[in-house]
Structure 1
Amino acid sequence: MPQRRLTALICTGILLAGAAGCTGGGGGGSESPSPSPSEDPGQAAAEAAAELMADMTVEEKVGQLFVLTAQGTTPEENAELIAEHRPGGLIYFPENLTGAGQIAELSNGLQELAAAEGAGTPLFLGIDQEQGMVARLPVGAHLPDAMAVGATRDPEMAATLAGTTASTLTALGINLDYAPVADVNTDPDNPVIGIRSFGSDPGPVGEMAVAEAAAFAEGGVVSVVKHFPGHGDTDTDSHTGLPVVDKTREEWEQEDLPPFREAVEAGVDAIMTAHLVVPALDDSGEPATLSGTVIDGILRDELGYDGLVTTDALNMEGVRQTHGDGEVAVRAVLAGADQLLMPPDAAGAVSAVREAVADGTISEDRLDDSVRRILALKVERGLYDAEPADPAAAEDAVDAEEHAAAAQQVADASVTLLRNEGGVLPLADGATVHVSGEGAEEIGAALEELGHPLAGSAQGADLAVVGTGGGQGAAAVNAVRGSGTPVVVVGQGAPYDLAELGEVDGYLATYSAVTVSRTAAARAIAGEITPEGRLPVDIPGTGLGIGDGLGY
């Protein structure tokens, strides 16, 4: 878009009333009136999007449908990608990121490249920063997984996680986060969700997801609620295969739908589709990402969602079972998706969608519907008037003391005591500990700092602490079980492993293997904090269920 027209839109209030460089009269001859104070911001953003689209070519509109994988660590390595495809966004991975200043410079340079092309539309710069096990950033506070947040039973903890994350992202020029997860983890053997879920009770899961989405929006970051229609009851990873969720429509409505319905009612920024089949919703065999019945029929028409719909990554095997990559992109748009994430062959996918628009397979009205949603969200979240990130200040911003304190606060609130035979916890002052298993070094260091000397063997200690969560839990517990020393397990993954460990004297669930969660476990063992977390899932075979937990 010519800069004169863009400035006119900003100065009339269609994008941002009172923007720098405006002189009060609206300038530039824009015919769009300033919205009144009572005007719906969403409606104002939609009107601004319609104005912005007027100067876009079909190729530029098609480009907005794509979020491509960023290349390298410098803007220059992405120049050709942006010039050829005019993407609506790019997504970062660890290989793109080396440090705070570098990330800020990369973000600024990519936005400059996008501004220089065609309509000059700013980019969504996105990342998977759920926290816990899915956290791509090499900098900033590392907060616990979603299941730990669910164990706090406090939506304010969800808002703390999202607000802290948003503060880090904005300092780095990142404006979109593919989080939170709204899947209800009802299958203990789920290989891909697990502790990424807030729990197995749909009510609290929805409450937490909406709290995170609101905090992200308040922090100026677009959130993406995922994975509709629900990935929590699968035993197949959609990265490597196509899961089939075999349940009735009624079961789905009771177990998986509620968090997404709540997200729709809250008006969340974006919702991500899942590459899975739910025959009760669509018996065609197509994954939800390619199902018009699921996206346009259920999500749009039945639930009334008119926000942005993005696919999960199109390089995942769950969506590549029956169609070529170009056809997958076209079918996703026809099903109702607005943005196409990470097609494995960017050039082929962009070409396929352009051809589908040219021959009428995708109508221009259908294309415009998606582009309008994309641009409206960019307007609403301030991308058109965003200040560049400050590389010099980025490091201090992401390492702020309040971020570290927030991470520890969430972790402390999540620790759940599920077994405490004979009152083995908390430790007496000065009691010795032997620590082994997952996270032993960090747990041991924290206990030592709290005044509990480390013993070289379980036999020589007052307490044996065993960390689990890395798949070798039973073996690690068995290694100390015969020592005669009381054994306390610190479960750092999903707490379902308690059913497989046999008799142990104590079990603390942290639901996360990040440093602050291990520190929180040590603090609970030492009695520095009282375990206040409560189970957010049922644990088959133990008699323990949602809401259970002990205290001191």
Structure 2
Amino acid sequence: MDVSQKKRIGQHFVFGFHGQTVSPDIKTLIEEYHIGSVILMKRNVVDAPQTRALVRALQTIARDAGHARPLLIGIDQENGLVSAFCRPGAGTQFPGAMALAATGSPDVAEQVSFASARELKLAGINWAYSPVADVNSDSRNPVIGVRSFGDDPQQVGVFASAVAQGLTAAGVAPSAKHFPGHGDTAVDSHLALPRIMKSRAELDTTELPPFAALIAQGVASIMTGHMALPAITGSDAPCSLSRAITTDLLRGALGFTGLVVTDCLEMNAISNTAEGACGVEEGAVRALEAGADVVMICHTIAWQRGAVLAAYEAVASGRLVLDETRIDALKDEFAGTWADVLGAPDGGESDFAREWDAAKAASAVLSDKAYRMSTALVNGPGALPLEAGRPVALFTPPMESLNKAVDDADGVLRTKDGALRNTAGPSFLAFAESVGKRAPCAHTVYERDAPLSVSAECTAVIFTLRNSDRSPWQLASLHQLAKATDAPIIVVGSCAPYESVHTSHAYVACFEYSPAALEGAARFIFGEQGPAVGKVPVKLSL
């Protein structure tokens, strides 16, 4: 196979790598395997200047290796709990999907998306794997949840379209996900293959309307997900590997003409051959056969190399026929030219610093506004607001790992050598600091089956839950404490609000456990922002 054909095939892959500088592996993949796109993960980001320098280094390698067009540089930046670019000194923490929907304002969602994308663009990132267009119709969903704009298909479509519009306006390609819909499942595709037993008519009612709205708007790219729809495909094949989904449904029935990228093929739904999955290398070929333009492999160099080699073999044998037209079009619109991505020889550092500072200042104001608008109150005010300066007891749960899409190293309870970390986790420690700025605060990290009590001087209890409908021992701890104290209790829901039906106490929903969201909850609890104006965007029922 000649080099020109290898260059064409390489354009159909987006790969991740380890490290905060260019690794030998990613350099080889760009130079020798000619991959057309790179995904940055949270592990690659230190701050904005470092990320910008890293992206410029990657683009320089691609240019010097003879790539015809710049790389697409992608990132998982949904905001909220999936915010790979959010670090001190990097991207601003903005509300995620469910919190944005709670504001009731698609305009605010578009403004947030534009501001977030402007920061990405300044760092050289031109492709965001956002918005989430999944309708969270199953409250038990372990992987979507608050990453969704809610359980109403029309509302999800409106907000997802607003986010896509904001990204596009800032020069970052959106990628709506996870087609044809990952909301109606209690299985995490990172761990196993979800089977969704729905007919085409049922998909038309719930899952497909948000994607149809995005396609009508002209969304640049769509990400396919790893779930099975046997009533549609006739098998348990993952949708991302199914021609019936990618070509017949997405392109044929819905008329999508943009770029299709798969979710990461290293998820167990594809990679776990021990459980009957086809494996990453074969999965890459099947996804491209199904009609995907680009396949994603985020972590493992052996699988990345193997997938490209499998594609070489499939093309050489005639099994696979590839077309780069949609990849080239996306690059022309969002990556631009070598002059666009590399700019002045000196890197334009002073201009970057000035633009970055201005963007961050504007983002801080907007983020504060959006979080204020998102905070919601369920079950009535109870003892709210609390009086500043009067002692309170704060209870927070340990940072249990709930799913791989959300949890990162900050949620690990033990280090690699077995040492116990502070089980509150950085987010809940930040919440304790937020409360402590307003009142003397006795902070307890409560554990399963541990008896809880409140000292006599505490005038109120703030009890934090995190998806306790899936960790019912948290609710048991709350009920035990309520019997042990006469102090008024305010419950803070730090993730999905479905648990609020299991308590009659005042329930403050902030939809995510980011420090910014929890600071907003503290602000509201102590009466600093007036009434809660957010509205819970999902149905709450026992």
In the superposition, relative to structure 1, how do residues 391 and 317 fare at CA in structure 2: closer, same or farther (>3 Å)? farther
Aligned partner of 1:355 among 309, 313, 316 = 313
289 and 224 in structure 1: CA distance in 2 versus 1, 3 angstrom threshold: same
Larger displacement relative to structure 2 (343-352 or 456-465): 456-465
Q: Residue 361 of structure 1: CA displacement? A: 1.2
Q: Does 1:483 align with 2:436?
A: no
Following the alignment from structure 1 to structure 2, what is the Cα–Cα distance between the partners of residues 360 and 270? 27
Equivalent position of 2:103 in the other structure: 152
Partner of 1:330: 285
Q: CA deviation at 1:458?
A: 5.3
Structure 2: runs of 5+ lacking an equivalent: 398-426, 444-453
Correspondence for 1:20: none
Aligned to 1:406, the other structure's residue is in SS state helix
Change (3 A) 1:288 1:433: same
Q: Please report how far the alpha carbon of residue 404 of structure 1 lies from its aligned counterpart in structure 2 after TM superposition.
A: 1.8
Residues 447-487 of structure 1: CA deviation (Å, up to 9, x unaligned)? 4545x444684542332111111656325524631210110
Superposition pairs for residues 274-423 of structure 1, below 5 Å? 274-320=225-271, 321-342=276-297, 344=300, 345-363=303-321, 367-368=322-323, 371-384=324-337, 385-388=339-342, 390=348, 397=356, 400-420=360-380, 423=382
Residue in 2 aligned with 1:496? Answer: 498
Deviates more, 1:55-64 or 1:108-117: 55-64
Look up the SS of the partner of 1:57 in the other structure.
helix
What is the match of residue 270 of structure 1? 221
**Distance across 2 between alignment mates of 1:455 and 1:313:** 43
Answer yes or no: is the 8 Å Cα contact 2:282–2:310 preserved in 1: yes
Determine the C-alpha separation between the residues in 1 that align with 2:13 and 2:259: 13
Q: List structure 1 segments (4+ residues) > 6 angstroms apart after TM superposition.
A: none
Instruction: Give the equivalent residue in structure 2 for 1:62.
Output: 9
Residue 436 of structure 1 and its aligned partner are, at CA, apart by: 2.0
Contact 2:70–2:341 under 8 Å retained in 1: no
Pairwise CA distance, 1:228: 0.3
The match for 1:514 is 514
Give the match for residue 442 of structure 1. 430
Corresponding residue of 1:104 = 52
Aligned residue in 2 for 1:19: none
Match of 2:474 in 1: 473
Shift of 1:72: 2.6
Q: 2:77 aligns with which of 107, 118, 129?
A: 129
Stretches of structure 1 lacking an aligned partner (at least 5 in a row): 1-54, 542-552
Between structure 1 and structure 2, the one with the greater Rg is 1
Determine the C-alpha separation between the residues in 1 that align with 2:442 and 2:230.
56
Q: Distance in 2 between matches of 1:60 and 1:441?
A: 49
Q: Tell me, what secondary structure is at the counterpart of 2:235? A: coil
Matched, 1:225 2:176: yes
- Hey, what does 2:128 align to over in structure 1? 177
Question: How many angstroms apart in 2 are the aligned matches of 1:315 and 1:378?
Answer: 25
Per the TM alignment, residue 311 of structure 1 is displaced from its structure 2 partner at its CA by 0.5
Q: Give the conservation status (yes or no) of the 8 Å contact 1:177–1:221.
A: yes
Aligned-residue CA RMSD (Å): 2.3
Q: Deviations over 1:350-388 (max 9, x none)?
A: 11112222221123xxx12xx110111111124224243
Q: TM-score, with normalisation over the residues of structure 1?
A: 0.82
**1:136 corresponds to which letter in structure 2?**
A
Aligned counterparts of 2:512 and 2:489: Cα–Cα separation in 1: 20
Question: Which residue identity does 1:489 align to in structure 2?
Answer: V
- Counterpart of 2:422? none
Using the size of structure 2 for normalisation, the TM-score is 0.83
- CA gap of 1:497–1:459, structure 2 versus 1, over 3 A, is farther
Is residue 216 of structure 2 the alignment partner of residue 258 of structure 1?
A: no
Q: Matched residues in 1 for 2:23 and 2:481: separation?
A: 55
Whichever residue aligns with residue 331 of structure 1, its letter is R
1:429 and 1:361 map into 2 onto residues whose CA distance is: 69
Task: Mark the CA change 1:527 to 1:104 in structure 2 (over 3 Å): closer, same or farther.
Answer: same
Distance 1:461 1:230, change over 3 A: same
1:539 maps to 540
Contact 1:224 1:272 survives alignment (8 Å): yes
Letter in 2 for 1:512: E
Distance 1:109 1:535, change over 3 A: same
Counterpart of 1:376, as a letter, is: A
